[in-house]
Amino acid sequence: MDAQAVSAALTPAALAPAIAKRLGLPSAEVETALSLLAAGAQPAFIARYRGDRVQELRIDDLERVQSEAARAVGFELRRQQLADELAQRKLEGGVVATQLAAAAHGLDLEDVRMLGRRKKRTPAIRARLSGLTPLSLSLWRHGSEGVFADAEAVPAPLVAMPNPAALNKKRKRRRKKKPAATEAAPTPVESAADDAPVEAAAEAPAGEDAPETPASDPVEAGNDAPSEAAAEINEDAAVTEEAAQSAEQSAEASAEASAKQATEPATEEPAAEEPAAAEAPALPTYDGDALAAALDGGALPEDAGALAGAQTICADFIVEHPGVRRVLRRLALKRGKLKTTVVEAKKGKAGRYTKFFDRAEACSSMAPNNVLAIHRGERDGLLTVELELDPALVQQEIASLLKVKDEGAAADVLRAAALEAWDHGGLAKATFVGVRKLLKERADRTVLSNLCEALRVQLLAPAFGRKPILCIDPGTQHGCRLVMLGADGAVLLEDTVFPLQPKLQAPQAQARIVEICTEHAAALIVVVGGTAAREVEKLARTAIAEAEGLEVAVHSVDADTASAGAKALKGELPKADAPSRRAIAAGRRVQDPLSALAKADPRKLSLGQHQYDVDQEALRQALDQVIGTCIAKVSLDLNTADADTLARIPGMSHALAKAVITHREGREAGFRSRNELLEVPGLVGKAFEQSAGFLRVFGGDQPLDATGVHPERYGQVADMARSLDITVPELIGNPEKVDAIVADPFLGTPGVSGETLGPRGLSQVQAALRQPDRDPRPKFEVAAYHPDLASFEDLKPGMELEGIVTHIANFGAFVDVGIAQEGLVHLSELSHEYVASAQDVVHIGERVKGKVLEVIPEKKRFALSLKALQPKPERPERPARSERSGRGDGGKGRRDGKGRGKGKGGRNDRGKGRGEKKEKVLGFRLDLSDLASRLGKG
């Protein structure tokens, strides 16, 4: 591998223009971000502590830049590996070099790799064995101005031929071992097999006028391609001349034995006699050079067989050209359709795919959900899918790419060869497979973005805080498990009560709940959702209401979330049973959702539609990236964080996180300052610089360690405090003093790391000093459910209910109102203003009030409206029609709910006003600083 060439292609300056254009971001800022990423910085660190260098780029922009850079690294490495592979096969220059340089996708590289693949016996190979290669090259020379018009530019694999005798030998090796008599007398089926034409060609008499086609020559007569190239490409070209002669003699012996058997009289058992073997038709041979010379004179061959064979070779040229497949994929994505049909035998089981029965949808406008649903239906054996594309468009696209002339007999043959390549050469199937893969990748990116946003809102859900919690996991036969968690999440007590069937010990259960809450000063009761959860919630509320001087709220947690967290606790609590682990996971989920979910496998959470249809490895990487970003946004307590959560901080790894925990456990008071991290083996340099700002030390020796100020700025903060004649502790948490800081003396001054302080960095330092303990997550709230609502049957349209937002989807939000079923608030019912995403209006854990719009008893569903209980905004009076008609759009300009134009470029959102809408691209946590080592390994 040419490490120097790859490194040159992957420099920030080389990558930035393409990435900036794709993402709609400033090229200069993208180049700076790539330089920081290549040096080992992570997006969260760059966004918070290097904001002055990337200017307007936010953390999501940086993640997309990192993702694109990671793809560019992987793609360029694969391109160079393929170039080395093709060079070993002596495939360099011409079409190969051009198409390899033009490749922009993994499918493009596979197209180039196929140029040197080992070929099977095809009609094109038989036509070449007949001597028609010179005629096919002459057709390209007269009918096209493209790459195939120059015979010297045609890659050797397109004209090189395998040894006919070697092909025969391979066919014989594949046959099952037969008795000697059977081998000496081949059956009629064997005589008519694919290798029969080659045997006949070997038997053809070599007269004075017959072309010389020795069996040991891997290239047909008239083919100027070197035999070395053919030997490198074709699978049997390594056969020696002696082996070839032996194979030829074997073929002649077989033919003589077959003829002798045909002349012998029948045996005594005529019933067992096999029918006479018809001699395989001899492979016709042509003087390719003479036919090409006649074509040079302006006349097509009169022999229809010769012309058809040459057309087949031309079709093979088209199939093998790497650029053809690329342009056909592009054409299919733009003009093609995917037609889905239900498998009749399984129509009764395909009810969920009813809308895909006999349906054709344009590839250019297919919704990602439909693409993934079709893939699932096909995988389940319920749907069949095929590509619909006009052959005339295919012919036109191929002719344009290969520069086929508009007029001329040779050009007409080449156009016919284009259709033959599409219908019979495999181009249709290859295009279909490539289009399906591209559509799947596109759908995966969109759905992955939605799933990541769903996880993000769960991770940043409101946290109850470090307070004691009583957790209840409802159960019938085995009872309801009670677990008391301390403020730090440690298990203080476990017990079991039986308020439900079959024991019905409700009074005893209520008394025990009150006793535990009183003894341990519980601040909240958490009930895990599931069977009988609503009954247990009601029982707990009743118990607290009847107890004197006890005020404890009751909160519910989704069962899926608790189950996912419980699996992560098996290693920590190996002796605890499933109900206890669920209760513990639910309680810790309420205390700190971010910390609890970071330990669980995020793929086990309920995130949204098609969660299990997307690429699971890509989903894992994307969700891990989201978890790391959210943890960095909230920051961690260095003295309480566990190894799994600590490992997700920028600059950290699992090995470093374990080393930090070991070092912390070896000290009685834990860490007293961030600088003590430098005592941990391996945690120096970039690792310390990246991680220190996201780790907090409360009550330590340095008060700034409890803020978001990076250690590299401690000296500058001390100077700021001295400029106001106060101490650093007096400056922290004092907004008036922070606002009084004069910025000019500190702007442009370097920190300990040498990084200068800019306007954005100074603003972030001041924000950290104003609110040192600020939590970016919303405030935790407990809903007061409707007292008359006990079951779904109590719901009535028009009821006003209070609830908690539990899930957010693309089409709206789900609200828990105190019964087993959750209500759906559609996007259109969230607000009177235009709502593009439910996350812009509500968040998970938020307490909301809504009005019941519709109840569907047969489906156990009901719809809520939040805007029904909100005052309607006053809108300005619309001008008269005569005034509005003067607009340039003829009075038909569309406007969204905020009065902004919806025309192209009408929005002022950053990144969307620069052209087409930005594509959501996920960022994978890949450190680009290891590029040099990866190249060195090559």
Residue that is written with structure tokens 């909230």 in the block:
634
Reported as a single tens digit per residue, the pLDDT across 608-629 is: 778 888 988 889 888 988 898 8
Q: Would you state the pLDDT for residue 298?
A: 73
Phi, psi of 383 (to 5 degrees): -125, 150
> Three-state SS for 221?
coil
Judged on CB neighbours under 10 Å (0-12, 13-18, 19+), 522 is: buried
Six token digits for residue 193:
């097999």
The mean pLDDT value for 795-811 works out to 84
Q: Would you state the pLDDT for residue 434?
A: 92
> Three-state SS for 877?
coil
On the question of pLDDT at 278 being above 80, the answer is: no
Q: Would you state the pLDDT for residue 175?
A: 53
Q: Would you state the pLDDT for residue 187?
A: 35
Six token digits for residue 483:
């677990």
Residues 50, 757: Cα–Cα separation, whole Å = 9
Assign 117 a pLDDT band (cuts: 50, 70, 90).
low
* Beta bridge partner(s), residue 673: none
Choice among 345-349, 373-377, 724-728, 920-924 with the minimum mean pLDDT: 920-924
466 Cβ contact partners less than 8 Å away, ≥ 6 residues apart: 487, 488, 591, 592
Q: What is the percent of the chain where pLDDT is above 90?
A: 21
| pTM of the model as a whole | 0.73
The mean pLDDT value for 19-25 works out to 89
Do β-strands 636-637 and 695-696 pair in parallel, antiparallel, or remain unpaired? parallel
Q: What is the percent of the chain where pLDDT is above 70?
A: 77
Residues 865, 191: Cα–Cα separation, whole Å = 78
Residues 344, 408: Cα–Cα separation, whole Å = 48
Q: Would you state the pLDDT for residue 895?
A: 42
Residue that is written with structure tokens 């064995």 in the block:
129
Q: From the CB of residue 788, how many other CB atoms can be counted at a distance below 10 Å?
A: 8
Reported as a single tens digit per residue, the pLDDT across 817-868 is: 877 788 899 988 998 888 887 877 887 777 888 999 989 888 888 999 998 8
Q: What is the DSSP string of 824-869?
A: EEEGGGT-SS--S-GGGT--TT-EEEEEEEEEEGGGTEEEEESGGG
Work out the mean pLDDT of the chain and round it to a whole number: 77
Residues 42, 774: Cα–Cα separation, whole Å = 23
Residues 607, 568: Cα–Cα separation, whole Å = 18
The mean pLDDT value for 216-241 works out to 35
User: Are 780 and 463 spatial neighbours (Cβ–Cβ below 8 Å)?
Assistant: yes
Assign 455 a pLDDT band (cuts: 50, 70, 90).
confident
User: Are 118 and 167 spatial neighbours (Cβ–Cβ below 8 Å)?
Assistant: no
The mean pLDDT value for 757-767 works out to 91
Instruction: State in Å, rounded, how far the first CA of the chain is from the last one.
Output: 5
* Beta bridge partner(s), residue 485: 469, 491
Amino acid (1-letter code) at residue 920: K
User: Are 193 and 171 spatial neighbours (Cβ–Cβ below 8 Å)?
Assistant: yes
As a whole number of angstroms, the longest Cα–Cα distance in the chain is 124
Phi, psi of 71 (to 5 degrees): -65, -40
On the question of pLDDT at 295 being above 70, the answer is: yes
